[in-house]
Amino acid sequence: MSTAGFNSQNGTGSGQVYANGPSQNPPALQQLPGVGYGMTHQQTYNPMQAKVPAPPGPGLYPFGAHQPVAPVSSYQTGQTLSSYTAPPSQSLLTRPPLGTPPSHTPPQSASPSPGPRLPPAQGTPPPPPVSSNSYYPNPQQQQQQQQQQQQQQQQQPQPQQPPPPPMAQPWQYNTAPPPVGPPTSMTAPPRGPVANHVNPASSLTVPPPPSSAAYVSAPPGQQLRSAAQPSVPGMPPSSLHPYAQPGSAPPPVNPMAPHSYQTGIAPYVGAPPAMKPTPPPTGLPVARATPPPPKADAQCGAALNSVQSPTEPDSQEGDIECPGAVAGNGPPASNSYNHVDNTMAVPPQPGPPGRHLGHYPSLPPGYQNTSAPPNATSTAHPAIQSATQPYTHAAQRYQQPPAGPGPAQLSPSLAAMSLQSSTPEALRVVNLLQERNLLPTGPISAPTPCLPQDLQKINCSPEVFRCTLTSIPQNQSLLSKAKMPLGLLLHPFKDLSDSVLQQLPVVTSSTIVRCRSCRTYINPFVSFLDQRRWKCNLCYRVNDVPEEFMYNPVSRSYGEPHKRPEVQNATIEFIAPSEYMLRPPQPAVYLFVLDVSHNALETGYLNVFCQSLLDNINALPGDSRTKVGFITFDSTIHFYNLQEGLSQPQMLIVSDIEDIFLPTPDSLLVNLNECKELVQDLLKSLPTLFEKTMETQSALGPALQAAFKLLSPTGGRMSVFQTQLPNLGVGALQSREDPNQRASAKDIQHLSPATDFYKKLALDCSGQQVAVDLFLLSARYCDLASLGCISRYSAGSVYYYPSYHHQHNPAQVERFQKDLKRYLTRKIGFEAVMRIRCTKGLSIHTFHGNFFVRSTDLLSLPNVNPDAGFAVQMSIEENLDDMQVVSFQAALLYTSSKGERRIRVHTLCLPVVNSMSDIFAGADVQAIAGLLACMAVDRSVSASLSDARDAMTNAAIDSLMSYRQSVLTIQQPGLLAPACLRLFPLYILALLKQRAFRTGTSTRLDDRVFAMCQLKYQPLVYSMLMIHPALYRVDDLTDEGALNINERTIPQPRVLQLSVEKLSREAAFLMDAGTVMYLWIGRNCNPNFLTQVLGVPSYAAVPDNLYLLPELDTAESQRTRAFIGWLKDQRPFFPSLHVIRDESQLKASFMQNMIEDRTESALSYYEFLLHLQQQISK
């Protein structure tokens, strides 16, 4: 097996990884020779380690989107960390344990490691230990214990504490727990800090201010009162937690002080030992540290070296979200809660107050002990026992009256989350060599993070924000051991018409509330300490609640900031105030650059374009300021004067392509409303204007230069239509494809650009807020690897129509028409930037998509559209031991087509886990496959295609080997995988056979490059169809299990395996491959289907080029057309449909998508599994 791979097994890959495209490859990915997984040097799990150093190809510069980015954390407080080392005779005081987040798996031990510790302030000696008294006995025992404690405090000095009992031996998963000791010992409080229990100093006294660096124990003699007493034995206590609101996430009980932690007691891994009551401690209380002064917003950063957005404030490190006016300091102004884009039928239903916000009192893997009668034993599983035990909440100052049932109480939701069986479904062991029917009957949904139900309800939708691991490892060591990539997949500008964002709240306010330190937008996962303060869920800074934020525009009430839309919705949009712009928002500007050479006129695309624009000209997004312009080119450049007052359009020809200039700059971009008639006249005359041209040359480069000069003052969208290889002027290209090498099994050449002209121009466009969309319509090689750079670095899109011809390929014509209509009318955002923030300890190091990276976490997007997806690779820089959840926030600032400056914010919350089984149980197999596809594209260009293929194979080997070694306790024969990863080898094989990465099969170079572009640019839900198509049998559709959508009945046939053995000559099958659909008709297909659906009497009568189903008035026809139409409606692009027979030329394309079958150059699925098993068994 090759040593190259997604961190190959021996970890000895060497060489420098060069960046390609928008992907950022930091020094963190340069693995040291000889450093493997088993060594102490921890690395980010990145499978793309090059075999050999690859020299930088054309288009790689020491600036721009390819530039290496050092890993950074989004936590930027500017405070210096310090630590306090305790004298040898003293031990650090531990903060109240938080417990781990809800676990996917049964408890591995009876009591987990103790919770995080809050370091004392500098120069302050540590206080004496405080005993824990959080076990809940029955009420009579509680009263007795409280009376004893009061008497001991008031009358007796503290007796000497008995030595701790010996620690029990740890017990392992799938084995019986060790004996716990006498049952009566459970009624006594434990000695010392115990996980899943709150220290009495925390739960019985008033907590220190959030910025305090020292924990304050209760003074001697102070009467202790229980903060939460169970009303009924065995039931959860009623919490007295302060001001608990529905929109909040649980940071630690106490905020993270700006000091490094001192590890205290070693993790406790044994079963609960027998405990004896411990009297309360004596000694002087520790003085509270003075909170640090609020951090000034001037610390947002220094000015960037790169291009500044015209709408960004200067000297704010590119943070367009860091305006001069600090949130909360401005004067109160009117605010409103609008639904500009869509009306919300029902306003957000705020959950009742009283929700616990300080921390999650987690249940598994530790026990919650209650009193038990003498000699009583329990036969229930520990996880089930723990689910029914009460737990405490720390008492805090601000009391919010209860408002009925809802997400306020975490106890029921957490109890409901505990495991009801010994093994969760996600970790069910699957022998891939024995189970063949792995595909579910319907769509595969994203795994649900193991969060309390009330938090999960308000979490960000996976259709918008998705993580490869829904349970985040506590440290980089665990992540590296799991051998799975950590990353995010985003669809930030998803259409409002989609179900997820139909009720997108749009908030208008003069003050947008953000963290003063890290600039995070307030969101549902922050914590309100009281009515006037909230704690950031990314950096844990305590911020003031502005006066304006106290008013809730939904309920028209005052004093309920936790019920505002900002803290009730994980996805929200703000209409930005004037502080978020330096110039008036730009108008919507559309410039169309059209190839009018002889080859272009032969394809007939110009007629389709002009007619589509005429039909949709009134639907172009914009307002009264919208501008349009046109440029055509062959061997010369043609401009069009459309100034108001002219009787007809005036064409201006510039033949000097070496020195391009604008003949009449002021009249080439005109107001659409004022000059609409001239624009319509031009569109009607363009197809005939050049119909007799014999110009065969194409000066695309000079035309792009002219268009850039025209759009530079305003910015906007440039739509370029090209039908051949540019061969004149700057940017001229020569054919690099050898048709004889298309089916080569060797490395594919010429995947990188041949010239740097198009990348340089794209970077210039990005600096002037110009995005370039490329429509490539050609039957010949056009060097998409070079031309695609113009769109990749300017945040544009690439549309590719191979073999386009208006007569010979009607299916492509239909697809072009539908795509063009969507392109012209879809929502668009101008002069946009996107920043991704994450909790302290996590960092971003690589981006994937079409954009320009302006800074370490800021993406420049001159245009943003609803069909664009992005991916992000992440690493864990600091241990997350003191955190139970982490959060990610993506903020997209853009100018709408109506001239409004808007901010769309998405926030995702995920739990932190500390066991390998929990990490595997939270794996999102589709997100992992999507992220690996993006990484493999970069690897193919920067190193070689064979390296990328080896890396993907090694990714499957490494993850399954890690699962076998780290999670399975009983080794069994076969290729074993958890149920959540049972499709991982299938997806890897599908990627190896995908057009972007396949070898041994004839594949045009432009087709391969376009497939790579799609994998990098498409949102995950669409790219997965291109990776693993869906196969359905459609000749026997019924209404059983059908969907009813808009009074239409949509059949739901079962998804079949992609194997010829699932086909039948007596049936008809539909394959959905994303951008194309195939309807395969068996030779002996049911005659009823042929007549009722296709309208032909026999198999021989099926036309060869049938791409539309006839609209017949039969039940079978209506069902089939409804199902196919429903599939097409679920994606923003239009897939072409091909009806094929056994004799059709397209049958080969249909069969190439049968992933599970063997081909001349690729293994079958079963053979691939045997290969994986062989490598794992080495």
The 10s digit of each residue's pLDDT in 135-153 is 334 445 555 555 655 555 5
What's the CA gap between 1175 and 960, in Å, rounded? 10
How would you write 391-417 as a 3-class SS string? Answer: CCCCCCCCECCCCCCCCCCHHHHHHHH
Q: What is the reported pLDDT for 788?
A: 95
Other beta carbons less than 10 A from residue 1080's beta carbon: 23
pLDDT band at 71 (very low <50, low <70, confident <90, very high): very low
Which has the minimum average pLDDT: 88-92, 142-146, 639-643? 88-92
Burial group, residue 69, by CB count within 10 angstroms (0-12, 13-18, 19+): buried
The 10s digit of each residue's pLDDT in 873-882 is 999 999 998 8
User: What one-letter code names the amino acid at 581?
Assistant: M
| Average pLDDT of the chain, as a whole number | 73
**What is the CATH number that goes with domain 1029-1154?**
3.40.20.10
86 pLDDT exceeds 80?
no
Beta bridge partners of 777: 801
Look up residue 386 and give its two tokens.
């723990």
Other beta carbons less than 10 A from residue 907's beta carbon: 28
What's the CA gap between 646 and 617, in Å, rounded? 20
**DSSP H stretches of helix in 723-779:** 757-767
Burial group, residue 115, by CB count within 10 angstroms (0-12, 13-18, 19+): buried
What's the CA gap between 1007 and 1012, in Å, rounded? 9
The CA–CA distances, whole Å, from 392 to 103, 228, 795, 1036, 1088 equal 19, 6, 51, 58, 68
The 10s digit of each residue's pLDDT in 1054-1090 is 999 999 999 999 999 999 999 999 999 999 999 999 9
Largest interatomic CA distance in the chain: 110
Other beta carbons less than 10 A from residue 1152's beta carbon: 19
Cα atoms in the 13 Å half-sphere on the side-chain side of 873? 33
pLDDT band at 444 (very low <50, low <70, confident <90, very high): confident
What's the CA gap between 147 and 992, in Å, rounded? 71
Smallest Cα–Cα separation from 785: which of 767, 758, 766?
A: 758
Other beta carbons less than 10 A from residue 831's beta carbon: 29
The CA–CA distances, whole Å, from 731 to 186, 750, 851 equal 79, 16, 21
Q: What is the reported pLDDT for 151?
A: 57
Sign of the torsion formed by the C-alpha atoms of 998, 1003, 1007 and 1009:
positive
Q: What is the DSSP string of 487-551?
A: EEEE-TT--TTSSTTTT--EEE-S---B-TTT-PBP-TT-EEEETTEEE-TTT--EEEPPGGGGE
Q: What is the reported pLDDT for 250?
A: 44
- Average pLDDT for 1004-1033: 94
1110 pLDDT exceeds 70?
yes
Smallest Cα–Cα separation from 1006: which of 784, 769, 804?
A: 784
Look up residue 960 and give its two tokens.
């399954």
Q: Nearest-5° angle of CA 1145, CA 1151, CA 1154?
A: 165
What's the CA gap between 546 and 553, in Å, rounded? 15
What's the CA gap between 799 and 1124, in Å, rounded? 23
What is the topology classification, in CATH, of domain 510-568? SH3 type barrels. (2.30.30)
What's the CA gap between 67 and 306, in Å, rounded? 12
pLDDT greater at residue 173 or residue 799: 799
Looking at 3.40.50.410, 3.40.1190.10, 3.50.50.60, 3.20.20.140, the CATH number of the domain 589-826 comes to 3.40.50.410
Smallest Cα–Cα separation from 73: which of 837, 834, 833?
A: 837
User: 616 phi and psi, to 5 degrees?
Assistant: -115, 15
DSSP state of 899: S
Other beta carbons less than 10 A from residue 107's beta carbon: 25
Residue 919 backbone zone (phi > 0: left; psi -120 to 50: alpha; other: beta): alpha
Q: What is the reported pLDDT for 629?
A: 96
How far apart are the two ends of the chain, measured CA to CA in Å? 10
DSSP state of 370: B
Instruction: Show me where the domains of the chain are located.
Output: 510-568, 589-826, 1029-1154
Look up residue 452 and give its two tokens.
């309390």
Q: What is the reported pLDDT for 122?
A: 38
What's the CA gap between 519 and 319, in Å, rounded? 9
What's the CA gap between 257 and 259, in Å, rounded? 6
In contact, 892 and 862? CB cutoff 8 Å: no
755 pLDDT exceeds 70?
yes
The 10s digit of each residue's pLDDT in 820-840 is 999 999 999 999 999 999 999
User: Helix, strand or coil for residue 1007?
Assistant: helix
pLDDT band at 274 (very low <50, low <70, confident <90, very high): very low
Residues, the chain, total? 1178
What's the CA gap between 415 and 505, in Å, rounded? 32
The CA–CA distances, whole Å, from 281 to 129, 158, 207, 843 equal 7, 6, 18, 42
Q: What is the DSSP string of 50-64?
A: -SS-----TT--SSG
Beta bridge partners of 770: 716
Tokens 């065995």 sit on residue = 234
The 10s digit of each residue's pLDDT in 922-945 is 999 999 999 999 999 999 999 999
Q: What's the whole-model pTM score? A: 0.69
Contact partners, residue 296, CB within 8 Å, separation at least 6: none
Other beta carbons less than 10 A from residue 277's beta carbon: 16
Q: What is the reported pLDDT for 401?
A: 35
651 pLDDT exceeds 80?
yes
Burial group, residue 1023, by CB count within 10 angstroms (0-12, 13-18, 19+): buried
User: Helix, strand or coil for residue 91?
Assistant: coil
Smallest Cα–Cα separation from 797: which of 698, 701, 721, 699?
A: 721
Highest mean pLDDT among 351-360, 447-456, 575-584, 890-899: 890-899
Contact partners, residue 696, CB within 8 Å, separation at least 6: 597, 598, 599
Q: What is the reported pLDDT for 554?
A: 79
In contact, 1052 and 1043? CB cutoff 8 Å: yes
239 pLDDT exceeds 50?
no
36 pLDDT exceeds 70?
no
Q: What is the reported pLDDT for 1143?
A: 85
User: What one-letter code names the amino acid at 83?
Assistant: S
What's the CA gap between 102 and 418, in Å, rounded? 7
| Alpha-carbon 242 to chain mean position | 33
